[in-house]
A = this chain, B = another copy of it.
Amino acid sequence: MAKPTKTPRPRAAAPKGFRDYFGAEVTERAEMLSRIAQVYHAYGFDALESSAVETVEALGKFLPDVDRPNEGVFAWQEDEGDWLALRYDLTAPLARVYAQYRNDLPTPYRRYAMGPVWRNEKPGPGRFRQFYQCDADTVGAASPAADAEICAMLADVMETLGIARGDYVIRVNNRKVLNGVLEVAGLSGDDKEHERGIVLRAIDKLDRLGEDGVRELLGAGRKDESGDFTKGAGLSEAQAGTIMGFAGAQSRILLKAKATLKEMEADTNFDPILTAGYKLLSQQVAQIEKPGTLGPNQPAAYFANDRVIEYLRDLVEGSDVGREGVDELEHMSELLNAQGYGPDRIIIDPSVVRGLGYYTGPVFEAELTFEILDEKGRPRQFGSVAGGGRYDDLVKRFTGQAVPATGVSIGVDRLMAALREKGRIGSARAAGPVIVTVMDRDRMADYQAMAAELRRNGIRAEVYLGNPKNFGNQLKYADKRNSPVAIIAGGDEHAKGVVQIKDLILGAQIAENATLEEWKDRPSQYEVPRGDMLSKVREILARHGLDRNGLAE
């Protein structure tokens, strides 16, 4: 018989594109999700946790006609033949769950879900194949009131997490308006699907390519800096003009308003202080250029939204679907204004398109408007942290009946990054435990009793459990644990009935700045009677603001 070959040791590494989360990364996310869940719950949304694994058949969408349907998803075949896959979002499972339980669930069904999803994509820097989503959807309600509710709730979520009004804005648009524009431009036929695709993708690139670049893509095509040529939609000048009127609505409205302001200024009789109309219009311009400039009690802010709606109504003139879209936008705007969600928080913005093909009506996006520095140190707006819209066909796949639905998905990692940026989380030194050091192995029970006493009083505490021989290692350990305080109690202390309490944060500060004399004084170490241990530890924690944990209040 052959000798058994020695198995090589396995590699200790997470699979490519996957990562592990440690300590505060986990608890801060849990805390954030829990606060979002509270808002969702207050609005009457119910929690749903569907299984991470779905049949490929139920997930749909990722079913190219090949043997192994694992494009974009992680999929495998069961021994009995079914293909299974990890969910790639929380919306496809919702459609399956609603179709499966529709007779038992209330209609409308408001549900929220939070958890990991998986994408079988090429990993890149900051791009992982497992990440969290946090969704809220209303299934079975056709009214724009349902869409408006989601937008209001999204605003509440932002403020509950400590993102101040003015630092975020919810942008709302409607796909039907875009469809109306396409109709007016003569691009609504079944035979124009290819062109419509190019148009949608081109509009989505407005931010990056500017109006000229988008116009090239609508026409013959566009050559980028590298010399690569992208074939365009081949639209006529007039068609492209209509589309650009939509895509560039914001800037066109501004141009028109600014031209009016100029005209007024050119008027020789013009007196800006007396002319209320001039003031109103310039406030509108400011509001459109930087939403949130005006508070909800300033009528000009509302006029700015109205101005956009009027502009869009003109643009889709003659298209039924277009008018329907503008009506829905107006209805949402009225409902939101009536509840106090004015244009300082929620604005109509025709530049919001949202990539996904399945949106059929209102679409929305939560954007953070404060500035951060990008990789190259240039200031830029933080950008989008959530998005969603109305999709009416997802359940139909299962039941044959269209079921109206609308919802939003929060990008958990981006929102975490924003909260960190704003100092709402991770700003304070993560609260490490108080370390009870081990000076005398035989007195382990005493040390554990000290830790237990601290814990009973709400203070995180632990006994050092490594080899206690080298005391330096214990202090290094305390440092690695971010411990604020170490307790030291050897034989001498025991005999005197005292403990030494070391303020490790102050100690670190002194170590950085102190003179030798100061250092020798050890002002960061206190000898107190054993009975005063708890109060002294409390005093030190309070001194460093560590008597409270978690998300900043």
Could you tell me which A residues sit within 8 Å of B by CB distance? 9-16, 18-27, 30, 34, 37, 41-44, 46-55, 57-58, 60, 70, 74-76, 78, 82, 84, 86, 96-97, 99-101, 106-108, 110, 116, 118, 129-130, 138, 140-143, 145-146, 148-149, 152, 334-335, 338-340, 397-400, 433, 444-446, 448-449, 452, 455, 458-463, 465-467, 477, 480-481
Closest CB of chain B to A68's CB: distance in Å?
Answer: 9
> How far, in whole Å, are A22 and B101 apart by their CA atoms in the complex?
11
> How far, in whole Å, are A145 and B468 apart by their CA atoms in the complex?
12
> How far, in whole Å, are A100 and B20 apart by their CA atoms in the complex?
11
Jot down 24 A-B pairs with beta carbons below 8 A, ordered by A: A10-B55, A11-B57, A13-B96, A14-B50, A14-B96, A15-B51, A15-B53, A18-B53, A20-B100, A23-B46, A25-B47, A26-B49, A30-B34, A34-B34, A52-B86, A52-B116, A52-B118, A53-B129, A108-B465, A110-B465, A138-B465, A148-B448, A338-B446, A339-B448
**Residues of B with C-beta under 8 A to A116:** 52
Known: A9-B397, A26-B47. A76 touches B82 (CB 8 A): no
Known: A149-B463, A461-B42. A20 touches B397 (CB 8 A): no
Residue contact B51 to A13, C-beta cutoff 8 Å: no
**Residues of B with C-beta under 8 A to A78:** 15
> How far, in whole Å, are A10 and B400 apart by their CA atoms in the complex?
10
Closest CB of chain B to A444's CB: distance in Å?
Answer: 5
Known: A106-B480, A398-B10, A462-B44. A51 touches B19 (CB 8 A): yes
Known: A11-B55, A60-B10, A110-B462. A47 touches B22 (CB 8 A): yes
Residue contact B51 to A448, C-beta cutoff 8 Å: no
Residue contact A13 to B397, C-beta cutoff 8 Å: no
Q: Which residue of B lies closest to A145 (CB)?
A: B444
> How far, in whole Å, are A251 and B480 apart by their CA atoms in the complex?
49
**Residues of B with C-beta under 8 A to A10:** 55, 57-58, 60, 397-398
> How far, in whole Å, are A15 and B34 apart by their CA atoms in the complex?
28
> How far, in whole Å, are A394 and B46 apart by their CA atoms in the complex?
41
CB < 8 Å neighbour of A15 from B54, B97, B433, B467: B54
CB < 8 Å neighbour of A23 from B47, B339, B400: B47
Main secondary structure of the interface of A (DSSP, over half): mixed
Known: A76-B74, A339-B449, A465-B149. A44 touches B460 (CB 8 A): yes
Q: Which residue of B lies closest to A465 (CB)?
A: B141
Q: Which residue of B lies closest to A84 (CB)?
A: B15
**Residues of B with C-beta under 8 A to A54:** 14-15
> How far, in whole Å, are A42 and B451 apart by their CA atoms in the complex?
10
Closest CB of chain B to A352's CB: distance in Å?
Answer: 23
Residue contact A55 to B15, C-beta cutoff 8 Å: yes
Residue contact A398 to B12, C-beta cutoff 8 Å: yes
Residue contact A448 to B106, C-beta cutoff 8 Å: no
| 15 other A-B residue contacts (CB within 8 Å) besides A9-B399, A140-B466 | A9-B398, A12-B96, A12-B100, A14-B54, A15-B53, A19-B51, A20-B51, A21-B47, A41-B460, A53-B130, A74-B84, A75-B76, A146-B465, A335-B448, A339-B448
**Residues of B with C-beta under 8 A to A75:** 76
Residue contact A13 to B138, C-beta cutoff 8 Å: no
Residue contact B465 to A12, C-beta cutoff 8 Å: no
**Residues of B with C-beta under 8 A to A143:** 444, 465
Known: A84-B15, A463-B145. A20 touches B53 (CB 8 A): no
Residue contact B445 to A338, C-beta cutoff 8 Å: yes
Q: Which residue of B lies closest to A466 (CB)?
A: B108
Known: A338-B449, A433-B44. A12 touches B99 (CB 8 A): yes
* Most chain B Cβ neighbours within 10 Å, of A75, A82, A84, A461: A84
Residue contact B52 to A52, C-beta cutoff 8 Å: yes
> How far, in whole Å, are A152 and B459 apart by their CA atoms in the complex?
17
> How far, in whole Å, are A340 and B448 apart by their CA atoms in the complex?
11
Known: A11-B57, A477-B106. A18 touches B51 (CB 8 A): yes
Closest CB of chain B to A458's CB: distance in Å?
Answer: 8
> How far, in whole Å, are A43 and B455 apart by their CA atoms in the complex?
7
> How far, in whole Å, are A433 and B459 apart by their CA atoms in the complex?
36
Residue contact A477 to B46, C-beta cutoff 8 Å: no
> How far, in whole Å, are A70 and B78 apart by their CA atoms in the complex?
10
Q: Which residue of B lies closest to A27 (CB)?
A: B47
> How far, in whole Å, are A53 and B338 apart by their CA atoms in the complex?
48
* Most chain B Cβ neighbours within 10 Å, of A76, A86, A101, A118: A76
Residue contact A21 to B34, C-beta cutoff 8 Å: no
**Residues of B with C-beta under 8 A to A46:** 22-23
Known: A34-B34, A84-B74, A444-B145. A22 touches B44 (CB 8 A): no
Known: A44-B460, A107-B466. A51 touches B130 (CB 8 A): yes
Residue contact B9 to A400, C-beta cutoff 8 Å: yes
Residue contact A48 to B21, C-beta cutoff 8 Å: yes
> How far, in whole Å, are A10 and B339 apart by their CA atoms in the complex?
41
CB < 8 Å neighbour of A70 from B20, B76, B148, B334: B76
Closest CB of chain B to A287's CB: distance in Å?
Answer: 22
